[in-house]
Structure 1
Amino acid sequence: MLPVVLPRDYVVPAGFADVARRVWDTAEAKVAGLISAHPDQFPLYTEDGKWVVDGEVWTNWCEGFLGGQLWMLSRRAGDPAHRDSFRSAAEHYSSLLEERQHDDSVHDLGFIFWSTYRRWYETTGEQSLKDVLVQAGRTTASRYRPIGNYMPSFREPASLFIDIMMNIHMAFYASQQTGDDSLADVATQHCLTTRRHLIRGDGSASHEAMFDLETGDFIAQTTQQGFSDTGSWARGQAWALYGFGTVYRFTGDRRFLDTARATADFWIEKTRTQLVPPNDWEEPNPVRPYESSAAAAASGGLWQLAGLVDNPALARAYADHAVRTLAALAADDFLASPVEDWEGVLKHGTYHEGKGLGVDESVMWGDYWLLDAVDTIQQYAEGAE
């Protein structure tokens, strides 16, 4: 896997330390409150700022994000006395997901296991934890349809989601760990199909592609969560720029780097003046102007991409945009206060606008990607000291 290497002269702004501390203080309070109030539960979104337990869900894809936050807090919590308790909780909430390594009914095993078992394995080096990651990667690859050359979404066999780009690296990981090239082969074919049919000429990403099940022929671009079939769903755009960058790290295939750059350039063009996007840029005069979880995920994707491109000026532009976006998300308009009744970390996120689920609320992946991006940039800053 290619490392992320930013230009030697890139300096994280001094004010980012304050941004990070605000985020960790809020996360420490909110995540501790969640696992205390709702033990062994994995809520996806809030209603009126309160986590919804056993509410309506579209699919089971978010369970890893709570454990991932706990792993990060086990290192970043401001109160050292809390770090051990977060570590214990991280192991517990991760272990609750173990059987999902065999779950071939969803396309989201990367969301579930990369955020949990990967962090656990990197912390301890225990072989059994890597075995879970490898099996999750094999399960991901097992969904491949040779007629059409793609892994279908959970929704139906004819459907391909851009979201899968954030999970397909599990198959590449399993291939690298086992030497089974067939896993990487099908994952590469899926990525090429996604690149061909979901990424438009201007770098925007469609949410979904539909295929003929008998011939594998592409039928049309559609959407489940955007404004229209021809729209630009912001979270899908973030999945594209982050996912193609990650796949480039695993493969070194510059076609995927080029795609990551195109989707990132579209993102930056759309967010130059308003760093946090609406749910879909094509929606005229959106009632809700923000979808913060998309901005949080895109920040991590932009930072990763900054360390992959070989143009120092472009790298700085991507890194600066990531840092500026995180600073906006850590401001009072978006970041909850540690002491207020709002139970999530990041406000103004959306789960599914069309279904009316978690709209203008906190969503678990928004909280996770905010912490993940902040943690990654802190690690870089600490390494440069």
Structure 2
Amino acid sequence: MLPLRPPHGYTVPSDFTQLAERVWSVAHQKLGALIERHPDRFPLYTTDGAWSVDGEAWTNWCEGFLGGQLWLLADRAEPAHRASFRAAAEHYSALIEERKTDDTVHDLGFLFWSTWRRWFEATGDPSKNDVLITAGRTTASRFREVGGYMPSFRQPDSLFIDIMMNIHMALYAAQQTGDTALAHAAITHCLTTRRYLMRGDGSASHEAMFDLETGAFLAQTTQQGYSDTGSWARGQAWALYGFGTVYRFTGDRRFLSTARAAADFYIERTGDRFVPPNDWEEPSPTRPFESSAAAAAAGGMWQLAGLVDDPTGATFYADYAIGILRRLAGPEFLATAEEQWEGILKHGSYHEGKNLGVDESVMWGDYWFLDSVDLVQRYAESTAGS
């Protein structure tokens, strides 16, 4: 796997440290309150700013994001509190271990890469890596040779762009075990996704439908975008981040070019607003922002900045990633430690069509926001004084 390289020679703005400190202070307060108020629960979204612990869920995919945030705070909280956040991170990770063999969903990367991967990296304990490998094998077990894809949780003829953020679990398992069948399934899935979900302008469709008997592609559709021909912003973020991650595992430049095209589309359509609506094709959307898409896009842009060959492109994507984080860390999006709003990042959406968690905090938005801030901050710290 290619390392997560920072953009060569890039200088993070000097005031980013202050931005990060403000973010971690809010995260400390909000997450500490959440696990105290709702122990062993995994809410997906807020309702009027309060975590909806029994809110309706479309599928079972979010339990890794709370543990992932706790792992980040185990490094970023005030030193006196790091041990307690570390214990909580381990506890919430352990609570989801049984999901490693759950073959009913396509989302095991969301669960385990944010939690057990961090646990393994922190300890080097082979038993933690075994959990990751099992989850990767489970991911690959959903592969359909007819059609060449891993279906979404929804039904076997459905392929989601979301799976690009989970497919690396199978690639990781292949890397760790030398199982070439796992790698074949994962790469074939990515090529199928590239062909049938990515469009010529770099935009991503949410869903593709296939004939179950022949594997023939039938149509692009959507479950969460404005229309079947629309451009769902969070799916766009999944594409630019996911194809970049797959390039890191495979070195196949087709995936790098796809990630870059997806990033360019996001930037072209969003510009200096940095935070997109739920779907760019929706005319005059009543809700102008989907902050969780921006949070994931920031991490994908930062990753891409370290993967492209040209320094100008690297600087371009790194600058845009930091631009997104600046916007999200501003008063319009970042809750304050003092206010009653229980999430970290406002103006996110879960599912607009089902009216679930709309214009609220969503757990994955909070996670990717913190993760992206941490990535940039680690690079800034590594180059300080150089």
TM-score of the superposed pair, with normalisation by structure 2 = 0.99
The code of the aligned residue for 1:44 comes to L
| Within-5 A mapping of 1:4-43 | 4-43=4-43
Please give the secondary structure, in 1, of the residue aligned with 2:271: coil
Q: Deviations over 1:124-155 (max 9, x none)?
A: 00010000000000000000000000000000
How much has 1:81 moved relative to structure 2? 1.6
Q: Distance in 2 between matches of 1:7 and 1:54?
A: 42
Q: Tell me the C-alpha RMSD between the 2 structures.
A: 0.6
* Residue 271 of structure 2 corresponds to residue 272 of structure 1: yes
Task: Spell out the pairing of 1:213-228 with structure 2 (5 A cutoff).
Answer: 213-228=212-227
1:4 Cα offset (Å): 2.7
Q: Aligned to 1:219, what secondary structure does the other structure show?
A: strand
Deviation, structure 1 residue 8: 3.3
Q: Does 1:360 align with 2:359?
A: yes
Query: What residue identity is the alignment partner of 1:16?
Result: F
**What 5-or-longer segments of structure 1 have no aligned partner?**
none
Counterpart for residue 69 of structure 2: 69
Partner AA of 1:183 in structure 2: L
Q: Partner residue of 2:170?
A: 171
Deviations, residues 234-269 of structure 1 (Å, cap 9, x unaligned) = 000000000000000000000000100110110111
Q: How does 1:1-385 map to 2 (within 5 A)?
A: 1-77=1-77, 79-385=78-384
- Cα 1:55–1:7 change in 2 (3 A) is closer
Give structure 2 stretches of 5+ with no counterpart: none
In 1, distance between residues paired with 2:188 and 2:300?
Answer: 22
Distance in 2 between residues matched to 1:4 and 1:43, nearest whole Å: 30
**Residue 7 of structure 2 contacts residue 318 of structure 2 at CA under 8 Å; is this kept in 1?**
no
What is the CA-CA distance between 1:327 and the residue it aligns to? 0.5
Whole-angstrom CA distance in 2 between matches of 1:170 and 1:76: 26
Tell me how far apart the structure 1 counterparts of residues 373 and 7 of structure 2 sit (CA, whole Å).
19
Q: Deviations over 1:66-95 (max 9, x none)?
A: 000000001001x22211110000000000
Q: Secondary structure at the match of 2:359?
A: strand
Q: For 1:212 and 1:154, how far apart are their aligned partners in 2?
A: 16
Q: Deviations over 1:165-220 (max 9, x none)?
A: 00000000000000101101000000000000000000000000000001000000
Distance 2:8 2:274 in 1: 26
SS at structure 2 position matched to 1:271:
helix
Runs of 4+ in 1 over 4 A off after TM superposition: none
- Are 2:8 and 2:306, in contact at CA under 8 Å, matched by a contact in 1? no
The alignment-based identity, stated in percent, is: 72
Quote the offset at 1:7 in angstroms. 3.9
Distance 1:8 1:130 in 2: 31
Distance 2:259 2:268 in 1: 14
Partners in 1 of 2:9 and 2:82 — Cα distance? 33
TM-score, with length taken from structure 1: 0.99
Distance 2:355 2:35 in 1: 25
The separation in 2 between residues aligned to 1:56 and 1:380, in whole angstroms, is: 38
Q: Give the residue type in structure 2 aligned to 1:2.
A: L
Matches of 2:6 and 2:70, distance apart in 1 = 27
Q: Following TM superposition, by how much is the alpha carbon of 1:15 offset from its aligned partner in structure 2, in angstroms? A: 1.4
State whether residues 289 and 347 of structure 2, in contact with CA within 8 Å, keep that contact through their aligned partners in structure 1.
yes
Match of 2:273, SS state, is coil
For 1:305, give the aligned amino acid.
Answer: L
Equivalent position amino acid for 1:68 in 2: G
Instruction: Decide which moves more: 16-25 or 307-316.
Output: 16-25
CA distance in 2, matches of 1:227, 1:8: 38
